[in-house]
A and B are shown apart, each in its own frame.
Chain A
Amino acid sequence: MSDVTNGAMLKVENLSAFYGAARILYDLNFEVGRGEVVALMGRNGAGKSTTIKALMGMIAQRQGAVHFNGRDISRLKPFEIARLGLGFTPEDRRIFVDLTVTENLDIGRQPPRTFSDGTPAPTWSPEKLFALFPNLAEMPNRPGGRMSGGEQQMLTVARTLMGNPLLVLLDEPSEGVAPLIVEQMANTIIELKKEGLSILLSEQNVHFAQLVSDRVYMLEKGQIRWQGTMPQLAENVDVQRAYLTV
């Protein structure tokens, strides 16, 4: 992990978040290295989605420092954060139902960008994304509202990639889609990692996380209770039972 600590893409220090009078996150510290796939795991309500939204600037009451690609983004607005190359795919997908597949992709379109060391980030075009998601290629003019859950899940990832992100926040990519699509999603994540993207995903499913991630942070009640590599989690049945099994 030595390469990770030195050149972290995303470094989070003492992140806390509040919703009204309720405190949701307690001083989270974690990081994602360049080209790394990291899983935030935990049960429903552990704070996974809140963490991702807080990183994206979508939770008004937040504290702590967030460094992304060498810049402090903790005070920025969501659109500014997105323009620095942090991509976000929400758990409920939030496809624009009135817009067609192509139009949805167009909303996500942004100029190419580079990493802090000057190397160019992977760029995406509708053609390249249609190659990655052949299902979408079959329905470029279908309105988002008339797609299946799995197709919407692919579209939301594709839409985020149109912004040529450096790191993608994937909230519950395996949630509520058919097993075949889950497998496809896993392949996609591996594909993106090969392209050089970093990924932070939230996940409850150990098997899915095992397929794609390098490291794990385990959340419970808004706090990080355990961290380690994916193989370490796979061996540690106690941790799985304590923080994941329902």
Chain B
Amino acid sequence: MSSFLFQALNGLSAASGLFFVAAGLSLIFGVTRIVNIAHGSLYMVGTYIAYSFATVVGGMLGFWGGIIATAIIVGIIGAVIEVLLLRRIYRAPELFQLLATFALVLVINDATLWLWGPEDLLGPRAPGLRGAVEVLGRQLPTYDLFLIFIGPAVLIVLHFALARTRFGRLVRAATQDREMVSALGVNQAVLFTAVFALGSFLSGLGGALQVAREPANLAMDLTVIGDAFVVVVVGGMGSITGAYLAAVLIAEVKALCIAIGVVDFGGFSVNFSKMTLVAEFLVMAVVLIARPYGLLGREQGAVRSVAEPEEPIRPATRGLKLAGVTVLAVLIYMPLIAQDSPYVLVLGVDVLIAVLFAASLHFIMGPGGMHSFGHAAYFGLGAYGTALLVKWLAAPMLLGLAAAPLLALLGALLFGWFAVRLSGVYLAMLTLAFAQIVWAAVFQWEGLTGGSNGVVGVWPTAPFDTRETFYLLTLALAVIGVLLLRRFLFAPFGYAMRAGRDSPLRAEAIGIDVKRVHWLAFAIAGAVCGVGGGIFAFAKGSISPETIGVGRSIDGLVMVLLGGIQTLTGPIVGASVYATLQDTIMRQTEFWRAMLGGIILLLVLAFPSGIVGALAKFAPRRKDQP
């Protein structure tokens, strides 16, 4: 029993750091409606900077002064990011900003690598709090005790600042209706910068405080942002108190898993400490299903979009059809054209898989209006469905491939049923949770899936065992997939989907079962994505958990946003550009992340409506436009 309580105390001290990041994230999202993926990067930078202060300056001043200075520096970095980058893209479509902050993650990660090097850096122990106190017969570091108290202390300060100051009132008002705040004479730009700086300050503080507890490392940015998203969503978007409760809840559930350890269930031994990987996502899934807006959240006021209203999508024009046929013809002849450089066909297969992924993701994101952060789940189900069938049942290749869309379809039907009940960021986070659960299941079910080693030896058989024929098979499946999705969009089903996205109430009033339509859309997209996963397994000859992780979901989002979410050709172009960049640049330089991030940022600033969206602007417009 005492070991449970001791782990519970440990959980409380871990909750503090998590709370700081989540509170900052929540504030920033509330006011600016930007989902700042780079928030975890600011936390990471905080730990590194605090490490430098503590080791270079050293002593009491270097450590404690360093923590304060770090928080201020990170706050300034946040303000600079807001002014230089985000301010230019507030008018861009909602999720486009996501792409920009994702690019920042890449750039900041490489900048950190360049400045501090690849080694993990553990700071000194906190001067003045080096000791430990005896709790329940064990030694609890005094510093952890300090962390347990600083979380609630900051919570109280923030709470009063939001309740009692004019700045706090403006933040709360803007969280509800920033356009109205602006019409009352408040300069949004200044408010946004201030909120961004405050959120970054909190994140930097959280990171800096970890310096004596955990080593600074380059993987912190994504793990922290993942945890923070979960905390914000579980606590309720915009609720600072909710964020603290959720941080405690999740840290405690994790601590509990560790405390339970290995338990025997009638012969089956389950290692609960391994469950920490998935515990937080299970908590999130349960909370979101029971309380769709989080513990203390409430339904978000409709965001009044500042972007231009979306143009209706139109059937392909003669010119576009001609271009499509031409590109297809070139692609069919590619094996002949590229006889001297076989790598082109390998790249081609990668690009086509990416196209399937992006087109199916776009199907639910664009016309469906459902922003999935966990599309990799269906890719993974397809890939593992194929690979396991081939490995365990020695199924022929085409049968294995046929299993891919089926398994993905089943997964999408199951997850989609829950997901379509939510909207906006909550939906995005629930899809992420499901994807993490798939990932964790694959990772931990070693007997079936081979665990972290994955399934190997999944090679294509004749006649698809040559590079050329496999490429052509991939091309055929990709073309069928893309045309199928298009066909759905221009059928009454597609109209119903868009109607449900634009105005759910009115759509229901004319007899459309919006949830059902969106659920089916989810399933269709999942199935098509599964095909991509199946091909992927054969293309690489293997499949492992790391290839179906959150990174792949984010890659897919980047592709869709890069191409432009409001067009149908966008995801195809975006996938091609991104997959090609990834396959070429990544092999050239150690700092490929920064390169990729830099390119994405340039594209974001140059083409705020995506590549195809920008091209469409140059095309002659139809009516009497201003």
- Contact assessment for B182 and A98 in the assembled complex, using a CB-CB cutoff below 8 Å: no
Contact B311 A20 (CB under 8 A): yes
- Cβ proximity bits A19-58 to B, threshold 8 Å, 1 near / 0 not: 1110100000000000000000000000000000000101
CB-CB nearest in chain B for A169? B183
Residues of A within 8 A of B175 (CB): 98
Contacting pair B626 A79 (CB below 8 A): no
The residues of B that contact A16 with a CB separation of less than 8 Å are 626
Given the known interface contacts A79-B185, A82-B184, A107-B181, the answer about A97 and B176 at a Cβ–Cβ threshold of 8 Å is yes
CA distance A90 to B181 in the complex (A): 12
B179 on the interface (CB 8 Å rule)? yes
Q: What are the residues of chain A within 8 A of B169 when measuring CB–CB?
A: 99, 103, 106-107
Given contacts A94-B177, A107-B169, are A21 and B623 in contact (CB under 8 A)? yes
Restricting to A69-126, which residues have a CB under 8 Å from any CB of B? 77-79, 82-83, 88, 90, 94, 96-99, 103-104, 106-108, 110
Instruction: For residue B617, give the distance in angstroms from its CB to the closest CB of chain A.
Output: 13
Contacts of A63 in B (CB 8 A): 626
With both chains docked as a complex, state the minimum distance between the C-beta of B517 and any C-beta of chain A, in angstroms: 24
Question: Pick the contact of A107 from B184, B311, B625 — CB < 8 Å?
Answer: B184
> Cα distance A20–B623 when bound, in Å?
11
Chain B CB within 8 A of A173 CB = no
Q: How far is the CB of A196 from chain B (nearest CB, A)?
A: 20
Note all chain A residues with C-beta closer than 8 A to B183: 56, 58, 78-79, 82, 88, 90
Instruction: Report B-chain residues with C-beta under 8 Å of the C-beta of A23.
Output: 624
- A56 proximity list for chain B (CB < 8 A): 183
Chain B residues in 8 Å Cβ range of A94: 177, 180
Residues of A within 8 A of B185 (CB): 79, 82-83, 108, 110, 163
What's the least CB distance linking B29 to chain A, in Å?
16
Residue from A20, A77, A97, A163 within 8 A of B184 (CB atoms)? A163
A60→B308 contact, CB < 8 A: yes
**CB 8 Å contact bits of B170-209 with A (1 = contact, 0 = none):** 1011011101111111111000000000000000000000
B179: chain A residues at CB < 8 Å are 58, 78
Task: For A162, give the chain B residue with the smallest CB separation.
Answer: B184
Interface size on A, residues (CB 8 A): 32
Q: Does B318 contact A (CB under 8 A)?
A: no
Q: Are A79 and B187 in contact (CB under 8 A)?
A: yes
**B306 on interface, CB distance cutoff 8 Å:** yes
Interface centre among A103, A104, A160 (most CB of B within 10 A): A103
With known contacts A63-B626, A79-B187, A79-B188, A20–B182 Cβ distance under 8 A: no
Residues in B with CB closer than 8 Å to A58 are 179, 183
A20 x B308 contact (CB < 8 A): yes
B184 x A108 contact (CB < 8 A): yes
Check A159–B184 contact: CB distance below 8 A.
yes
- Chain A residues with CB under 8 A of B587: none
Residues of chain B lying within 8 A (CB to CB) of residue A21: 311, 621-623, 625
Please determine whether B172 and A99 come into contact, CB atoms closer than 8 angstroms. yes
Contacting residues, chain B, for A61 (C-beta < 8 A): 308, 626
Task: Verify A98–B172 contact, CB threshold 8 A.
Answer: yes
Contact at A78–B182, with CB atoms within 8 Å? yes
Q: Could you list 24 examples of A-B contacts with CB < 8 Å? A: A16-B626, A20-B309, A20-B311, A21-B625, A60-B91, A78-B182, A79-B185, A79-B188, A88-B184, A90-B183, A96-B172, A96-B176, A96-B177, A96-B180, A97-B176, A98-B175, A98-B176, A106-B169, A107-B170, A107-B173, A107-B184, A107-B186, A110-B185, A160-B184
